Amino acid sequence: MDRFCPKCGSKGKTLIKNLCETCFWDQRVSHIPNNLIVKLCRSCLSYLQGKKWVRIRKKDPNSVALEGAINELKRNITIPKDTKILKIEGGATEWNLSGLPKKVVLDITLTSEGASSSLKREATVEYITCDFCQSVASGKYEALVQIRGEEGQLSEESRKTVESSIDKFYRNVLKDRSDITEIQEKDGGIDIKFLTSSKARLFAKKLSEITGADLKETAKIMGTDRMTGKRHYRTTISVKLPALEPGDLVSFKERIFKVLGHHRGKLILEDVEDHKRRSLSQRATADVAKIDKTDIKRVSIGARSGSTVTILDLEEKRFLELPSEKISGDLKEGDVGLLINLDGKEKVIRRQ
Ligand SMILES: [Zn+2]
Ligand SMILES: [Zn+2]
Average pLDDT over residues 218-239: 81
Q: Ligand 2 centroid vs 128 CA: distance in angstroms?
A: 8
Q: Ligand 1 centroid vs 83 CA: distance in angstroms?
A: 18
Q: In this predicted structure, what is the pLDDT of residue 213?
A: 85
Q: Is it the case that residue 276 has pLDDT exceeding 90? A: yes
Read out DSSP for 267-293?
EEEEETTT--EEEE-TTGGGG-EEPPG
Average pLDDT over residues 268-291: 87
125 compared with 59, residue with greater pLDDT: 125
According to DSSP, residue 155 is labeled: P
Q: What is the pLDDT of residues 100-122, one digit of tens each?
A: 999 999 999 999 988 899 999 99
242 compared with 19, residue with greater pLDDT: 19
Can you give the C-alpha Rg of the chain in angstroms? 35
Q: Ligand 1 centroid vs 30 CA: distance in angstroms?
A: 14
Given phi > 0 = left and psi -120 to 50 = alpha, else beta, which region is 95?
beta
Q: Is it the case that residue 176 has pLDDT exceeding 70? A: no
Q: In this predicted structure, what is the pLDDT of residue 225?
A: 67
Q: Ligand 1 centroid vs 171 CA: distance in angstroms?
A: 55
Ligand closest to the CA atom of residue 13: 1
243 compared with 4, residue with greater pLDDT: 4
Q: Ligand 2 centroid vs 46 CA: distance in angstroms?
A: 6
Q: Ligand 2 centroid vs 41 CA: distance in angstroms?
A: 5
Q: Ligand 1 centroid vs 115 CA: distance in angstroms?
A: 16
Average pLDDT along the chain: 88
Q: In this predicted structure, what is the pLDDT of residue 133?
A: 80
According to DSSP, residue 171 is labeled: I
Confidence of residue 257 (pLDDT cuts 50, 70, 90): very high
| Number of helical (H) and strand (E) elements in the chain, helices listed first | 5, 23
Q: Ligand 2 centroid vs 286 CA: distance in angstroms?
A: 47
ipTM: 0.88
Q: In this predicted structure, what is the pLDDT of residue 177?
A: 62
Q: In this predicted structure, what is the pLDDT of residue 234?
A: 87
